[in-house]
Amino acid sequence: MSQHEYIWSLNDLQRVPKNGRKVFTTFSCGGGSTMGYKLAGYDVIGNVEIDPQMMAIYRANHNPRFPFLMPIQQFKTIPDSDLPSELFDLDILDGSPPCSVFSTAGKREEKWGGEFHFREGQAKQRLDDLFFDYLDVVEKLRPKVAVAENVKGMILGNAKGYVKLVIERFNEIGYDVQLFILNAATMGVPQKRERVFFVARRRDLCLPKLVLNFNERPILYSEFRSGRGRPLDRGGKTYQRWLKRRPIDRDFGDIGQREEGKDSNFNTILIKDHKVANTLASNSWFVRYDEPYFISEQDIIRMQTFPQDYDFLDADVQYVCGMSVPPVMMKRIAQQIDAQWFSKLQ
C-alpha cells in the first residue's frame, strides 16, 4: 500500500488480515462502503442494488457471492427459505438509502412524500420511504449490527421528525441506535464531507455504547493534486467568471453574486492548494483556482479514497465516486465496531 493511505489499489486487499466478520450491503452503488469494510478486514458476502450499471461495476470489482439486482422493496419480500442461510448470520447489515430529499440544497420539503426517479432508467420510488425499507430488511435478517449513512440534512429542521420515526422503528425491532455526525476530513479522507451515520446494535447482545472520535490531520489539495482535467472553454461564461475570481471566493456562485448580482453556479467549486477540498458530489464541479482547468479524474479518485485500479466500466467516474461512501471513512468506522463490539463477543 502507498505511504498515503488514501492512495491504494484493489490488490492491497489481499494483504489485509481478515477478522472473520460478515457484511451484507444494500444500496451498494459503486461499492464505497464495501471497500471500507474490506479494508478493515471484513468479508462482504453480497449486495442489493437497483441500478444495472452500478451492479455491473460492483460485480466487476467485487465479484459478490450473493448479488441481488432489484429494488430493496422486492428483496425484502423474498421468502426467508429462498435466501442464503449466511444472510441470517450477519455481523453487519450496511445501507446508504438515497438521500436527495433530505439535502439542504433546494426546497427539500416539497419533495417529501412524492415519487421520483432517483436516476434516469430506474423505477420511480418514494425516496423518503427507503430508510424504512432498509429497516424492514434489518428486522428480516436480524444482523448483530446495522449501519446506515445519510446526509447531514437528515437531522436538520423539519427532518428531525423523520429521524425520530427512524429511531422509534429501530427500537421497535430490538435495536439500540446511535447517531454520529462525522466529517471525513478528520478520518484520513482528503475532503470536507459531513455525513450522519446510524449505528445500531442488537439489544440482546448487551453491547455498550460505541465511541467514535476521529481527529486525523487534514489533507490539503496540494498533497494529492495530479494531472489536469478538461480546460475551461475560453469563450464560455465559466471562464469569464474564473478570470474575476478573488481569494475569498469559495465557488462560482460567490463570483456571480459579486459581479452579476445573481447566485448561480454554486456547485462549481474553486479548489485551492492550501485548502481541504469540499464535498465531492455527483453533480458538483471542481475548478482549480490557479489555472483554468477542472481537476483530473485521478484527483477525484484520490479525493474519494477509491482504489487507483478501480474499473468504472463506462460510467462517469465522478458520478460513481460522488454517490459512494469514501472507503477510508467506512474503514475507520468498521475498525471501531470490531474493536469495541465484536472483539468483546468472543
User: What confidence tens digit (pLDDT) does each residue in 178-204 have?
Assistant: 999 999 999 999 999 999 999 999 999
Q: For position 185, what pLDDT does the model report?
A: 98
Task: State residue 160 phi and psi, 5-degree precision.
Answer: -60, -35
Contacts 24+ apart (CB under 8 A), 280-283: 280/191, 280/193, 280/304, 280/318, 280/321, 280/322, 281/322, 282/318, 282/319, 282/321, 282/322, 282/323, 283/322
Distances (CA, A) of 30 to 142, 174, 193, 227, 285: 25, 30, 18, 24, 19
Same domain, 106 and 249: no
Same domain, 214 and 225: no
Q: Is the pLDDT of residue 315 over 70?
A: yes
- CB of 37 closer than 8 Å to CB of 58: no
Q: Is the pLDDT of residue 162 over 90?
A: no
Q: Point out the catalytic residue in the list 29, 99, 206, 321.
A: 99
Same domain, 68 and 152: yes
Q: For position 81, what pLDDT does the model report?
A: 98
- CB of 322 closer than 8 Å to CB of 282: yes
Mean local confidence (pLDDT), 317-334: 96
Q: How far apart are CA 60 and CA 311, in angstroms?
A: 7
Q: Is residue 4 part of a domain?
A: no
Q: What pairing do the DSSP bridges indicate for beta strands 268-271 and 194-202?
A: unpaired
Tell me how far the alpha carbon of residue 246 is from its chain's centroid: 32
Q: How far apart are CA 183 and CA 171, in angstroms?
A: 26
Q: For position 128, what pLDDT does the model report?
A: 57
29 is catalytic: no
Q: For position 263, what pLDDT does the model report?
A: 74
Same domain, 151 and 259: no
Q: How far apart are CA 241 and CA 205, in angstroms?
A: 57
Same domain, 182 and 271: no
Q: Is the pLDDT of residue 154 over 80?
A: no
Q: For position 113, what pLDDT does the model report?
A: 45
- CB of 277 closer than 8 Å to CB of 220: no
Same domain, 110 and 73: yes
Would you say how long the chain is, in residues? 346
Same domain, 164 and 281: no
Domain that holds residue 34: 10-218+325-344
Q: For position 122, what pLDDT does the model report?
A: 43
**What one-letter code names the amino acid at 239?**
Y
Same domain, 210 and 249: no
Q: Is residue 264 part of a domain?
A: yes
Percent of the chain with pLDDT over 90: 80
Task: State residue 4 phi and psi, 5-degree precision.
Answer: -95, 120
64-73, 261-270, 310-319: least confident range: 261-270
146-155, 201-210, 304-313: least confident range: 146-155
Same domain, 96 and 187: yes
Q: Is residue 5 part of a domain?
A: no
Confidence of residue 158 (pLDDT cuts 50, 70, 90): low
CATH of the domain at 22: 3.40.50.150
Residue with cell 475548478: 287
Distances (CA, A) of 29 to 52, 201, 308: 10, 24, 18
Q: Which residues contact 69 (CB under 8 A, 6 or more apart)?
A: 49, 50, 52, 55
Task: Give the pLDDT confidence of 229-271 residue by residue, as tens digits.
Answer: 999 999 999 999 999 999 999 999 999 999 988 877 789 999 9
Q: For position 159, what pLDDT does the model report?
A: 66
Q: For position 3, what pLDDT does the model report?
A: 65
Same domain, 212 and 234: no
Q: Is residue 294 part of a domain?
A: yes
Provide the grid cell at 330: 467506512
pTM for the structure as a whole: 0.90
Same domain, 213 and 72: yes
Where b means 16+ CB within 10 Å and e means fewer, 305-326 reads: bbbeebebeebebbbbbbbbbb
Q: Which residues pair with 251 in a beta bridge?
A: 269
Q: Is residue 65 part of a domain?
A: yes
Provide the grid cell at 340: 469495541
Q: Is residue 2 part of a domain?
A: no
Task: Give the pLDDT confidence of 73-129 residue by residue, as tens digits.
Answer: 999 999 999 999 999 999 999 998 876 544 434 443 444 344 434 344 444 445 558
Same domain, 229 and 162: no
What is the number of domains present in the chain?
A: 2
